Amino acid sequence: MEGPCLRDLTCPFPLGPHESVMPCLLSGNAIHPTFMLQCSRKKGNAMARADKAPQERTVLVLQGGGALGAYQAGAFQHLTSEGYQPDWVAGISIGAINAALICGNPPDRRVEMLETFWHRITAALPQQPVAGFPPRQLFGQMAAATVMASGVPGFFRPRLPAAAFVPGALAGMTSFYDTNPLQTTLSELVDFDYLNEHGPRLSVGAVDVETGNFIYFDTRSTRIGPHHIMASGALPPGFPSIEVEGRQYWDGGLVSNTPLQYVMEEAEDQPLCIFQMDLFSARGKQPKSLGDVEQREKDIRYSSRTRLTTDRYRQLSELSRAAERLAARLPPEFRDDPDLAFLRRATPDCPVALVHLIHRQAKYEGAAKDYEFSRLSMVEHWAAGEGDARRTLSHEDWRARRPAEPGLHVFDLGHHSA
């Protein structure tokens, strides 16, 4: 399949004014990777690269959130088209899967593999309402119910109802679904030799079932395979724990759904440009129904205090800078005081630009949004991520920033109201 650059036609995963290509996507016709390569080559990236100082390391921080993870893929697509290839990717749950697809492929195949994965796991459900029926919200609820009953292709399949007819089977079950299909998918779409030997640094979080300790599997110290990625996304009781080196692990989101703290603690002296892609927003409206309450509770629980973490590091950054100014005014004999040195190390030594890209709830979404794997919702989430990334990188505040400026600088520019 050859043709003009997709950017000359419309956004690959359209929204709003770009709906002309939607029927092609919903039909299951995958976008040819040539489109992506042509777009990347044709689009001038000189200005974008000028915005990102060469000495900055680009880091992606990918939150967990199931079906909402297509938002991260869309955001990544735009970032990479603007020249932002990651040096380090940290992820939890679906964020770990997206991270593996990125780190386990060469730059020119990353968007293609993300697209292949998201098309595969959304292939089994009805593509879109017909003639406006069922209504959008009901369509999503029906799609989520179908997932609960039949699973998701290439991801997970139900143990029931077959297990219901085997005496004693239910008593020995520790999960409702089998995730072996995900292992097959990861082995096909991720080159783990490339990931460990040539790809960006990868860090994925999981929880030890017996100790409750939170751990990161990191290519700096561990050779990562499919089971490490699956462990990061093994959310009970839906998914079974995954064994890694003799220990059983569950989804890292049980402890922290956002790996930002790990990245900040592991930062070295080189300036960082962090794109934090959150799938649950800590901010929301007052619930007006039980359904709203369930969704709001989930948003708060899985947003993992993103704003609190950011505010904490901003305050610690100000503390460190104040300690630096104080040290400059002290007599030489006091500048090496251990307490002063402790305050100066309160945050990473490197400058940090932290960019928030946050999925905002659509009006039709309910509490099942993280397991509503319809093609229509995937397309909309992808487009939302691409749009937020595009608005961020084109925002005057971002374009006017000074890369590698000392301290922590936070940008939340992607939402429509920005």
Q: What tens digit of pLDDT does each residue of 320-340 get?
A: 888 889 989 999 888 889 988
pLDDT of residue 309: 76
Rounded distance between C-alpha atoms, residue 134 and residue 144, angstroms: 14
Rounded distance between C-alpha atoms, residue 245 and residue 249, angstroms: 10
- Please check the confidence at residue 400 and state whether its pLDDT lies above 90: yes
Instruction: Taking residues 381-398, report their average pLDDT.
Output: 96
Most confident of 85-99, 147-161, 306-320: 85-99
Per-chain mean pLDDT for the chain: 83
Rounded distance between C-alpha atoms, residue 211 and residue 208, angstroms: 6
pLDDT of residue 262: 94
- Please check the confidence at residue 200 and state whether its pLDDT lies above 90: yes
Residue 134: is the preceding peptide bond cis (ω within 30°)? yes
Q: Range with the lowest mean pLDDT among 84-88, 165-169, 241-245?
A: 165-169
- Please check the confidence at residue 3 and state whether its pLDDT lies above 60: no
- Please check the confidence at residue 21 and state whether its pLDDT lies above 90: no
Pairing relation of β-strands 177-178 and 157-158?
Answer: antiparallel
60 neighbors 86 (Cβ within 8 angstroms): yes
398 neighbors 413 (Cβ within 8 angstroms): yes
| Sign of the torsion formed by the C-alpha atoms of 48, 53, 57 and 59 | negative
Most confident of 165-179, 181-195, 398-412: 181-195
**What percent of the chain is predicted at pLDDT more than 90?**
53
pLDDT of residue 165: 56
- Please check the confidence at residue 22 and state whether its pLDDT lies above 60: no
- Please check the confidence at residue 188 and state whether its pLDDT lies above 60: yes
- Please check the confidence at residue 35 and state whether its pLDDT lies above 70: no
pLDDT of residue 48: 44
* pLDDT band (50, 70, 90) for residue 40: very low
Strand ranges, E, within 123-267: 157-158, 177-178, 201-208, 214-218, 242-244, 247-251
Rounded distance between C-alpha atoms, residue 241 and residue 231, angstroms: 7
Instruction: Taking residues 336-362, report their average pLDDT.
Output: 87
Of the two residues 293 and 185, the one the predictor is more confident about is 185
* pLDDT band (50, 70, 90) for residue 133: low
* Tokens encoding 39: 């777009």
pLDDT of residue 23: 41
CA angle, residues 179, 181, 184, in degrees to nearest 5: 125
Of the two residues 360 and 227, the one the predictor is more confident about is 227
- Please check the confidence at residue 20 and state whether its pLDDT lies above 50: no
Exposure pattern of 184-207 as b/e (b: 16+ CB <10 Å)?
ebbeebbbbeebbeebbbbbbbbb
pLDDT of residue 365: 85
Residue ranges of the alpha helices (H) in 151-276?
Answer: 180-189, 192-197, 226-232, 260-266
Largest CA distance in the chain: 80
Residue 21 one-letter amino acid: V
Of the two residues 197 and 280, the one the predictor is more confident about is 197
Rounded distance between C-alpha atoms, residue 179 and residue 181, angstroms: 5
Beta-ladder partners of 204: 91, 217
- Please check the confidence at residue 381 and state whether its pLDDT lies above 70: yes
Rounded distance between C-alpha atoms, residue 249 and residue 257, angstroms: 15
- Please check the confidence at residue 42 and state whether its pLDDT lies above 90: no
Of the two residues 282 and 386, the one the predictor is more confident about is 386
Instruction: Taking residues 237-260, report their average pLDDT.
Output: 95
pLDDT of residue 333: 87
How many helices and strands in the chain, by DSSP H and E? 17, 11
Helix (H, G, I), strand (E, B) or coil at 343: helix
- Please check the confidence at residue 310 and state whether its pLDDT lies above 70: yes
Residue 408 one-letter amino acid: L
Residue ranges of the alpha helices (H) in 236-280?
Answer: 260-266
Report CA-CA distances (Å) from 218 to 132, 225, 226, 249.
47, 11, 13, 15
* pLDDT band (50, 70, 90) for residue 358: very high
- Closest by Cα among 91, 88, 101, 26 to 65: 91
Task: Tell me how far the alpha carbon of residue 246 is from its chain's centroid.
Answer: 28
pLDDT digits (tens, 9 = 90+) for 52-110: 444 899 999 999 999 999 999 999 999 999 999 999 999 999 999 999 999 999 999 99
Q: Is the pTM of this model over 0.85?
A: no
56 neighbors 404 (Cβ within 8 angstroms): yes
Instruction: Taking residues 256-279, report their average pLDDT.
Output: 92
- Please check the confidence at residue 15 and state whether its pLDDT lies above 80: no
pLDDT of residue 120: 96
Rounded distance between C-alpha atoms, residue 162 and residue 173, angstroms: 12
Pairing relation of β-strands 201-208 and 247-251?
Answer: antiparallel
* Count of other CB atoms within 10 angstroms of residue 125: 23
DSSP state of 154: T
* pLDDT band (50, 70, 90) for residue 47: very low
* pLDDT band (50, 70, 90) for residue 30: very low
HEC string of 99-117? HHHHHCCCHHHHHHHHHHH
3 neighbors 33 (Cβ within 8 angstroms): no
pLDDT of residue 367: 83
61 neighbors 258 (Cβ within 8 angstroms): yes
* pLDDT band (50, 70, 90) for residue 375: very high
